[in-house]
């Protein structure tokens, strides 16, 4: 099963890989006509998330390699400069010029991000990756909305789907009633409430001990959180399915982006494309080859039938209606149309 998924994913990105090789062979360079720009980039995401951290570092490395004489980035990861709640204020205040931030944590401030977090909105991961590409209709719509609050999304990476990780088996919505599950965002909270579950907000670093003590019964998250935080040592079951999904965008302020020379923007955009590509391909490979073999030794993986998935979709349909009330209705409907009408 893992082999077939891996082959399918590799085929999806074969053309993209060829394009990157050709770009490298053409020797594209950026001729600077200004003093080299020095920028600071920050993220709270720890290096222990080995399925995504290398590609975040890769964005910085690409800029620093191809932007010599034009732009260079000093990168502070793992909350060494700004913690989670300090990231957006720090960006706006100029403590950092660029931040890397999962969208689920800021969906309340920027509700447009909720569209990709809606339960079961994507039938497959490939479509989600395509929507996160620079220049895609959804990417452009999100940036149009962010502009209203002086924010700009340089690039985005699609994290794998969020599953339900618990201490007891879950195959139907009724199995989730009364559980206390950790989640990371507003849409996730709405999804869990729709399933009769009590959502709990806490840093992922605290989940291990919270499960040990019985404070929570599990979590809703993408596999990298479980692997990166060693939660497979306490979780007993995983119900596979697209219960939610969030992207990890790279942000700056709109004013700052507009002020940068074009050659700086060009380097950033190419680095952003590489970031999206590498996160989707190499990150997925890491999960399939490293995390899931480890999970399979400790966790019972539950694959839902079509009928069981339909039951979860029906139970979580109200989440869509609630989200549409959080955003401008026309904007929300346009976003849904982009995602659903392929």
What number is the average pLDDT over the span 313-329? 97
**Domain check: are 239 and 258 in the same one?**
no
Range(s) of the domain holding residue 225:
162-244+299-337
Residue 271 shares a structural domain with residue 322: no
* Shared domain check, 209 and 96: no
The predicted pLDDT at position 8 comes to 53
pLDDT-derived band at 300, boundaries 50, 70, 90: very high
Look at residue 210 and tell me whether its pLDDT is greater than 90.
yes
**Residues, the chain:** 342
Same-domain status, 78 and 213:
no
User: Which letter, b or e, does each residue of 99-136 get, where b requires 16 or more Cβ atoms within 10 Å of its Cβ?
Assistant: bbbbbbbbbeebbbbbbbbbbbbbeebeebbbbbbbeb
Same domain as 54, residue 112: yes
Structure tokens at 290: 């490293």
Whole-number pLDDT of residue 91: 98
On whether residue 29 sits in a domain, the answer given is: no
Same domain, residue pair 312 and 212: yes
Residues 112 and 194 in one domain: no
Helix axes 329-340, 306-326, angle to 10 degrees: 150
Indicate if 225 and 309 belong to the same structural domain: yes
Residue 261 located in a structural domain: yes
Residues pairing with 248 in the sheet: 157
Residues 184 and 197 in one domain: yes
pLDDT recorded at residue 106:
94
193: CATH = 3.40.190.10
Per-residue model confidence (pLDDT) at position 119: 98
Whether residue 138 is found in the same domain as residue 259:
yes
Is beta strand 162-166 parallel, antiparallel or unpaired with respect to 218-221? Answer: antiparallel
| pLDDT confidence tier of residue 234, bands split at 50, 70 and 90 | very high
Give the mean pLDDT of 195-207.
96
Q: What is the rounded average pLDDT of the residues 147-165?
A: 97
Is 225 inside any structural domain? yes
Same structural domain, 205 and 230: yes
Please tell me the total count of domains within the chain.
Answer: 2
């Amino acid at each position: 099963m893992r082999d077939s998924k891996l082959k399918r994913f590799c085929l999806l990105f074969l053309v993209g890989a060829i394009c990157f090789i050709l770009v490298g062979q053409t020797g594209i360079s950026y001729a600077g006509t200004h003093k080299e720009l020095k920028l600071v980039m920050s993220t709270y995401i720890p290096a222990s998330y080995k399925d995504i951290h290398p590609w975040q570092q890769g964005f910085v490395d690409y800029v620093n390699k191809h932007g010599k004489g034009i732009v260079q980035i000093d990168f502070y990861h793992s909350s060494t400069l700004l913690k989670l709640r300090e990231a957006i204020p720090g960006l706006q205040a100029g403590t950092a010029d660029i931040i890397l931030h999962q969208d689920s944590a800021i969906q309340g401030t920027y509700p447009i991000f909720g569209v990709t977090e809606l339960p079961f909105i994507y039938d497959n991961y490939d479509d989600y990756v395509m929507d996160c590409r620079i220049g895609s209709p959804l990417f452009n719509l999100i940036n149009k909305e962010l502009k209203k609050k002086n924010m700009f999304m340089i690039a985005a990476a699609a994290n794998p789907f969020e599953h339900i990780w618990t201490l007891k088996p879950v195959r139907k919505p009724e199995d989730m009633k009364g559980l206390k599950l950790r989640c990371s965002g507003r849409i996730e909270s709405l999804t869990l409430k729709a399933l009769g579950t009590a959502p709990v907000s806490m840093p992922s670093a605290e989940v291990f001990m919270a499960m040990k003590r019985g404070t929570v019964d599990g979590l809703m998250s993408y596999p990298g959180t479980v692997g990166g935080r060693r939660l497979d040592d306490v979780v007993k079951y995983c119900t596979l399915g697209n219960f939610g999904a969030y992207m990890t965008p790279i942000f700056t302020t709109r004013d700052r982006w507009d002020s940068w020379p074009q050659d700086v923007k060009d380097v950033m955009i190419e680095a952003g494309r590489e970031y999206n590509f590498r996160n989707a391909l190499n990150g997925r490979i890491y999960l399939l080859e490293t995390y899931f073999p480890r999970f399979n030794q400790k966790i019972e993986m539950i694959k839902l039938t079509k009928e069981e998935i339909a039951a979860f979709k029906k139970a979580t349909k109200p989440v869509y209606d609630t989200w549409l009330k959080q955003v401008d209705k026309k904007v929300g409907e346009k976003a849904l149309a982009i995602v659903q009408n392929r």
